[in-house]
Amino acid sequence: NAGVMQNPRHLVRRRGQEARLRCSPMKGHSHVYWYRQLPEEGLKFMVYLQKENIIDESGMPKERFSAEFPKEGPSILRIQQVVRGDSAAYFCASSPRWDQPQHFGDGTRLSIL
Amino acid sequence: DQQVKQNSPSLSVQEGRISILNCDYTNSMFDYFLWYKKYPAEGPTFLISISSIKDKNEDGRFTVFLNKSAKHLSLHIVPSQPGDSAVYFCAAKIETSGSRLTFGEGTQLTVNP
């Protein structure tokens, strides 16, 4: 039973480019969460999605960031016009129900040149 | 506004002894607490959780204690093993209002052989 799969593991972008981060939840999990970890800090919640629905996006920056979890395929976190401050580790987690512990992927480390 | 705080950035213990990791929170609405372990370049791994209706939960070598009046929880690992060396994150949530986890900054545990 594969765990939460995130790709790419490392992503390098230049300022102004777009970054797309992908997350495939564990089999049987329909709840997906995205967190961001800046250096020397804890994980910060960004967004919570179920299939085709955004349930809670209260942690998402108002501009340039968007997330989706389509009926088919992985969840995508999209960052447009990246800036240096977007450099961080982005973690995806999934759970089978909203009240079950979240299981995390190994993250995507985004570096902005 | 750091609602979950882990005031010790690091802890070093001898193999076989007890490790005690501490966590404080300020939001009295939190009613479910979790501990995660994280190795470098990997995602957090769920360890143990506790609901606010309990004051203790035990799973093998890991025990979590919750003191609601003090808004404090702790993770005890006994006996500690070198493989336990990792960053430990405390996390909290409000079960009735969704699934977002609020994380502490983490404590680096080093278990010396």
pLDDT tens series, chain A, 113 aa = 569 999 999 999 999 999 999 999 999 999 999 999 998 788 999 999 998 899 999 999 999 999 999 988 999 999 999 999 999 999 999 999 888 889 999 999 999 99
Distance, in Å, from the CA atom of A97 to the CA atom of B12, rounded to the nearest integer, reads 36
Residue A105 identity: G
B65 neighbors B55 (Cβ within 8 angstroms)? yes
CB nearest to A101's CB, from B4, B46, B105: B46
| CB-CB neighbors (< 8 A) of B43 in chain A | 4, 6, 91, 93, 104-107
Distance, in Å, from the CA atom of A90 to the CA atom of A30, rounded to the nearest integer, reads 19
CB nearest to A42's CB, from B41, B45, B104: B104
Place of tokens 């299981």: A103
Cβ of B43 within 8 Å of Cβ of A4? The answer is: yes
Q: Residue B61: CB partners within 8 Å, gap ≥ 6?
A: B77, B78, B79, B81
Cβ of A42 within 8 Å of Cβ of B43? The answer is: no
Q: Is residue B22 packed enough to be buried (19+ CB in 10 Å), middle (13-18) or exposed (0-12)?
A: middle
| CB-CB neighbors (< 8 A) of B95 in chain A | 99
